[in-house]
Chains A and B, each alone.
Chain A
Amino acid sequence: MHNFAYHAPASLDAALKLIGEKEDGKIIAGGMTLLPTLKQRLAAPSDLIDLAGLPDLRGVKKEGGHIVIGAMTTHYEVATSDVVKAAIPALAHLASIIGDPAVRHRGTIGGSLANSDPAADYPGAAMGLNATIVTNKRAIAAEDYFLGLFETALERDEIIVSVRFPIPEKAAYQKFRHPASGYAVAGVMVSKTGAQVRVGVTGAGPNAFRARDFEAALEKSFTAEAIKDVKMSPDSLLSDIHCSAEYRAHLVGVLARRAVAQA
């Protein structure tokens, strides 16, 4: 890996000041994607600004009808949080099957969402649970947040502070897990709150998205049967070494039905 200067600011203001000053600087959260990327020299930032020293960005709390998770909260902390397990068990489950135990001890929800890997789990949760990404500047609805492959609405001088999840009546996450990497070949988070149903899909497209045809059918009848004939178009989905777009389109349907049955 190329060398860089390392900074461990003790406050969000100090971190923002650094990111303002260091034009080629990069923020590091858990580093579970960034450090492998640096090792492969796919990126060469001049400075790394580590958010690990900001305690305000860490932790889980319930605020009214929402679960609020600090950006630097690790996957392990989300998976084992009594607050998350009681309010949105599907989210705790999702966190518990990211990567492997050692990765879950370092990787964070903010890092995952900022990176927007097409095969990461949390983007599917953000879409399927109608989350809001809260930054130092504003609150961004998940729908407006994911813009493309590894591309989000985050501006250069914007840091995710927390993620707000409305507590649904029902939710479930189903994932076709790549057996070697643990990444989602496809993953579907389904949630139901009153008459509203959300179906968030990750792994299948260049970024997480809502499967609106599935949502419409499930709002009429929240059963696996209701979506058995709903087809996902493979047109904008990913084809890669693991499988074709058509295969992923089929998987999304299967996983959506499983998630509805489980919710």
Chain B
Amino acid sequence: MKSKVTLTVNGKERSAEVEPRTLLAELLRDHLGLTGTHVGCDTTQCGCCVVHVDGKAVKSCTMLAVQAAGKQVTTIEGLAKPDGTLHPMQEAFREHHGLQCGFCTPGMVMMAVDIARRRPGADEKTVREELEGNLCRCTGYQGIVEAILSVVNPGAVKDHHHA
């Protein structure tokens, strides 16, 4: 039942033999070794598995690998520059203490980049609404929201860590 799926991941063409039921998250983690994409709930709720497919944030636990054939997929591994320079959103998460245990972080950052694309200039309320499909169980969101605001709307940041 396996078939070959070819897609572009982080700018490189990749192929794998997968079953029709293989999830995009499983393709990325188990077949391509890109374990930065996390699977938290596996029920489309927590957002730890968010990646970009053709430029849009999707939950990779709720998309089949075969549905990504021919598409452009970007994962957390594809954000930093090859020399290791962090993406501005990754840098903002570091600067504003937007992570603690780090489990939700890849999905948070991928969603944050998507929010920055769709909602430039967003206020704090909007950022919080936009994050409703991403759950963090330890930092409590304050640092995450500040990090995203510092990129999309720097004037709106009320930074508690750098008072």
Contacts and interface: CB of A to CB of B under 8 A. Distances in A.
Given A3-B20, A103-B133, A32 B44 contact: yes
A35 B134 CA distance: 19
Contact of B66 (A6, A39, A101, A181): A6
A106 B21 contact: no
A36 interface: yes
A94 interface: no
A36 B132 contact: no
Given A5-B1, A182-B132, A102 B50 contact: yes
B57 A105 contact: yes
A105 B56 contact: yes
Nearest to B56: A105
Nearest to B107: A102
Contacts of B134: 100
A32 B67 CA distance: 13
Contacts of B111: 101-102
A143 interface: no
Interface in A1-33: 1-6, 8, 31-32
B59 A39 contact: no
A99 interface: yes
A102 B133 contact: yes
Contacts of B45: 180-181
Contacts of B1: 3, 5
B63 to A, nearest CB: 7
Contact of A31 (B19, B42, B50, B64): B64
A100 B114 CA distance: 13
B67 A102 contact: no
A251 B65 CA distance: 41
Interface of A: 1-6, 8, 31-32, 35-36, 38-39, 48, 50, 52, 76, 99-103, 105-106, 180-182
Interface of B: 1, 3, 19-21, 42-45, 47, 50, 53, 56-59, 62-64, 66-67, 69, 111, 114-115, 118, 130, 132-134
19 contacts: A2-B21, A3-B1, A3-B20, A3-B21, A6-B64, A31-B62, A31-B67, A32-B44, A32-B62, A35-B63, A36-B43, A48-B64, A50-B67, A76-B56, A101-B118, A103-B62, A105-B56, A106-B63, A180-B45
10 pairs of A and B residues whose beta carbons are closest in the complex: A100-B133, A6-B20, A105-B56, A102-B59, A102-B57, A1-B21, A6-B66, A35-B62, A100-B132, A3-B21
